[in-house]
Amino acid sequence: MGLDFETFVLAAATADLDEEPDARPHADCVEFRMDLAAAPLAALDGYDGELPLLATNRPTWEGGEADPEGRLDALETAIEHDAVAAVDVELAALSNGDGHDLVERAAELGVAVVVSTHDFEGTPPRPELGRLLTRAGEVGDVAKLAVTATDRDDALDLLAATRAHAAEGATVATMAMGEPGRHTRAVAPVYGSRIGYAPVDPARTTAPGQYDLATLRSLVDGLLGEGSR
C-alpha cells in the first residue's frame, strides 16, 4: 500500500481501525490516531483493511493524548507494518533532537514522512508560516501546517503560504482550525494542499472545525473536479 501525495489525499481520521470499511467510499487512506486508541499496536497487527494507513501518535503538547514514554518507539514499530504507508512526526520533536531515527527508518522502508506543526492558539505572521513549511519540508516528504484562524485574514495568510510553497514544487498539507478557517479544509487543496483530514464518525472529530468525511470529499471533488481521487 503506497502513498506518494503527488495528488490530493483524503485521510479518514480514526482511533478505531474497525471503521475502515465505512471510510472506503470516500477516503484515500486512514489516519490511525494511535494516541487515541486503547491498544494501537495490537490493532495494527489485526488490520486487514483495503486503505493504506497514515500512523499518527500525537503528544499532549501538540493536541494529542500520547504518553511521552515510548511514543516514538511505538511509531517505529508501526511503520514496520505493510499497511502503514506514511507516518506523522512533529517538527517540534525533530527540532528537539527526537524522531530522527524514525525518519531514517521510514526512508529505508519507503514510508512517507509527514512533518507537522499545530498551533491551537492562533495563526503566526505570514513569514513565519513560510518558515515553518520550509523547515518541515527539509526533513519530511510532506510539510503539514495546521493553525487556528481567528478571522478571514488568518485564513487568507495560510492559503497564500500554501500557494507560494506549492508553486515552488513543495509538497504541503495545510488547514486552519476553528470556524473562521473551516472553509480552508475544502479550499486549501485548490492552492496546492495535498492532504485533507475528516473523521469517519462525525461525532468523533480529531481537530476543531473538521467536516465529516463525505462532505469534505464532495467539496474537494467539486472544487478540484471528479478526477481528484
Beta strands in the chain (DSSP E): 9-14, 29-33, 53-56, 84-90, 112-118, 142-148, 172-177, 195-199
Look up cell 480529531; give the residue: 206
DSSP 3-state helix, strand, coil percentages of the chain (rounded to 5)? 45, 20, 35
Q: Give me the catalytic one of 26, 144, 165, 183.
A: 144
* 165 has catalytic annotation: no
- Residue holding cell 513549511? 133
Of the residues 26, 81, 118, 165, only one is catalytic, namely: 118
183 catalytic, yes or no? no
For 212, counting Cβ atoms within 10 Å of its Cβ (0-12 exposed, 13-18 middle, 19+ buried), the class is middle
CA distance 214 to 216: 6
Q: Is 26 helix (H, G, I), strand (E, B) or coil?
A: coil
Q: Which residues are catalytic?
A: 118, 144
